[in-house]
Amino acid sequence: MKLSYLWRGLPGHPLHPPLTDATIGIYTFATLAGLIEVLGITERNGAIGWWLALILGLIVTVPTALTGLAEWLTISWRSELWLTATYHLLSMVTATLFFGLAAIFGHDAYTHADVSAGAYVLTLIGFGFLTLGGWIGGSIVYVHGMRVLNLLREPTERAVTPTPPPEKEMAEGG
Ligand code: HEM
């Protein structure tokens, strides 16, 4: 048992990916809720959902980014993997910045249950960077293979065990 399991997760079960699912899901909801308001499909509810989801997304981004940072710090500096992960970091920080600006500049309109055009454009730009960052996140894992154990013949009962045997920690890498 390593202490770093607390912020990096277990071998085969890193903490960052499930948190990214929640974060991306919440921002996606915000973008869609804003869209239905902008399109006039809703009159108030879309705006309220949009702004509150932006705030929730920003809150959930904190543990997501921190667990990502914990992973990033383990990578050899200036390696190809490090470069890919750094592009991912920059894209996600930029996305967060735009969602933050959207929440700040959209607050007035939200208090009138509305979505302002400018704040929605900021949301869309944030979503663009989120998508780009998600794509690059996929490259880290599915191209470079970071945190992937790839134990194809691992018996199911061992694959689902929360605490894997020590030899699998060695196989983990990254
Ligand atoms: C809004 C914040 C972030 C989101 C939504 C996000 C999203 C993602 C996604 C979708 C993946 C692929 C995971 C998978 O295969 O399911 C990933 C992997 C990764 N991300 Fe992030 N990320 C965020 C912030 C960060 C930050 C700030 C860093 C670095 C400082 C970072 C570093 C990494 C690393 C090293 C991986 C590969 C290892 C792993 O999956 O645990 N991420 N991220």
Q: How far apart are CA 22 and CA 156, in angstroms?
A: 26
- What is the distance between the terminal CA atoms of the chain, rounded to a whole angstrom? 17
pLDDT classification of 162: cutoffs 50, 70, 90 = confident
**Which is the closest atom of ligand 1 to the Cα of 138?**
12
For a substitution probing ligand 1, which of 4, 23, 75, 88 has the most ligand atoms within 8 Å of its CB? 88
Task: Assess whether the C-beta atom of 136 lies below 6 angstroms from ligand 1.
Answer: no
pLDDT tens, residue by residue, 20-57: 999 999 999 999 999 999 999 999 999 999 999 999 99
For a substitution probing ligand 1, which of 4, 19, 20, 146 has the most ligand atoms within 8 Å of its CB? 20
Which residue is closest in CA terms to ligand 1's atom 20? 68
Q: Name residue 94's beta-bridge partners.
A: none
What is the CA(140)–ligand 1 centre distance, in A? 8
14: which DSSP letter?
A: E
pLDDT tens, residue by residue, 72-105: 999 999 999 999 999 999 999 999 999 999 999 9
CB neighbours of residue 93 within 10 Å: 14
**pTM, whole model, 2 decimals?**
0.93
Angle CA 5–8–14, to nearest 5: 105
Task: Assess whether the C-beta atom of 60 lies below 6 angstroms from ligand 1.
Answer: no
